[in-house]
Amino acid sequence: DANVFDPESARTVPHHDVTIDGKRIVRVAPTGTQVPAGAEVIEAAGKTLIPGLWDMHAHVSPNDGMLNLAAGVTTVRDLANDIDELIARKKRIEEGTELGTRIVMAGFMDGPGPYQGPTKVLVADEKTGREWVDKYASLGVVQIKLYSSLKPELVAPIAEEAHRKGLRVSGHIPAGLTASEAVKLGYDEIQHANFLVLNFMPDVKDTRTPARFLEPAKRTADLDLSSPEVRAFIQLLQDRHTTLDPTLSIMEGMFLDRAGTMAVGFRAVADRLPVQVRRGFMAGDLPVPPGMDEKYKASWKKMLAFIHQLYAAGIPIEAGTDSLAGFALHRELELDVEAGIPAPEVVRLATLGAARIMGMEKDLGTIRPGKLADVVLIDGDPSQRISDVRKTALTVKDGVIYRPAELYRELGVTP
């Protein structure tokens, strides 16, 4: 007797029974249909069943699997990790010896130098770049993520090789390039909203340094969203079918968190977390120069307004966190709504939207017969009140039931 959220229509259909057999959904029908003999029955009256959530920007580490499953996240896209460790973890999850989500893998590469990213894949020439794309493809990655120290002249050949292999290309914007230039060179997607606004700050050349955060915090408030430059950028994203992974929950912390006060994005859950985690949320984030506090806050509001403008223009927005597993995804969805994206659309983008971007909508993203049994039972309706997404009553991934209260207790988190 669940109220089933349908991402295709962005509507919730009341009073339906959903039957799962093995890893697949086998039936979705109005409540009252015959229950198969021997079935385990879960009463869902008054609750909402949504497809499993996606976190499109993860760096999977120990305990992330349990935190994500407890939060209703059944699939993550890992955008930078040690590829050998990631493959080993993915194998353990698939074999059932480690609790975790479905993992979609991206291959990470950067250029060598004093600001090089945390990867052993450091590329200084075209030949090496193409070779690593081919190796990554052979390991099962579906996307290549580029980082800030990569030479600008290597973006186009690496993107060409990746596209030849059927892989997406995304990342930070390498130093010396703007977001517009990266898209023209082959980016399918951009990580982090700060790189979007840096497109209009071409004097900030070295995006390997903290300037990539500090300058947007200081100057985004002054961005004219009606300017020809902004309109041209949006048109480019439309023309190139570029998707965006803004990681708003990270940006919120950078612009708004202050030392000695609880991090804005985790205030709703801080009391449930172990004391050492809570303590970390009191550290603040970016340094705030004297007299700039209100400017940082105004920049945050303008960044949200820009995300709404991009959404309204039809640019696909992704739900990715680059932050604490599970809890940060809930905050990300709240911030999407705060940016002016309607709640039903936000639930859609975190389910079917993600599956479509990654070409996995045949198996994931909707609650339909034949789809993989990744579903989340919510004690509320996040399509009406997005914060209800925090009220995870039950998570099913690949037909296996996980009870959030049990997972949280094992991790020292108050259910």
Q: Where are the alpha helices (DSSP H) in 21-70?
A: 64-70
| Whole-angstrom distance, CA of residue 116 vs CA of residue 32 | 59
pTM exceeding 0.85:
yes
CB 64 within 8 A of CB 77: no
Q: What are the DSSP E strand ranges found in 22-174?
A: 24-30, 48-51, 53-58, 73-78, 102-109, 143-146, 168-171
What are the pLDDT digits (tens) for 69-107?
A: 999 999 999 999 999 999 999 999 999 999 999 999 999
Q: What percent of the chain is modeled with pLDDT above 70?
A: 100
Close Cβ partners of 295 (under 8 Å, ≥ 6 residues apart): 217, 218, 221
Rounded Cα distance between 344 and 139, Å, is 36
Tens digits of residue pLDDT in 271-312:
999 999 999 999 999 999 999 999 999 999 999 999 999 999
Q: Which of 415, 406, 404 is nearest to 68 (CA)?
A: 404
In tens, the pLDDT along 313-349 reads 999 999 999 999 999 999 999 999 999 999 999 999 9
The mean predicted confidence, pLDDT, of the chain is: 97
Distance of CA 157 to the CA centre of its chain: 27
Give the C-alpha separation, 232 to 238, whole Å. Answer: 10
Supply φ then ψ for residue 380, to 5 degrees. Answer: 155, -160
Task: Give tens-digit pLDDT for 179-190.
Answer: 999 999 999 999
Tell me what the mean pLDDT of segment 131-136 comes to.
Answer: 98
Residues 245, 225: Cα–Cα separation, whole Å: 19
Q: Tell me, what's the pLDDT at 166?
A: 98
Q: Is 283 exposed, middle or buried (0-12, 13-18, 19+ CB in 10 A)?
A: exposed
Structure tokens at 223: 């961005």
Q: How far apart are CA 317 and CA 296, in angstroms?
A: 23
Q: Are 53 and 355 in contact (CB under 8 A)?
A: no
Given phi > 0 = left and psi -120 to 50 = alpha, else beta, which region is 222? alpha
The amino acid at residue 354 is A
Which pLDDT tens digit goes with each residue over 54-63? 999 999 999 9
pLDDT of residue 304: 98
> Mapping DSSP to helix (H, G, I), strand (E, B) and coil, where does residue 244 land?
strand
Residue reference for tokens 């090496």 = 128
Task: Check residue 266 and give its pLDDT.
Answer: 97
Q: How confident is the model at residue 17 (pLDDT cuts 50, 70, 90)?
A: very high
Task: For 115-129, write each residue's pLDDT tens digit.
Answer: 999 899 999 999 999
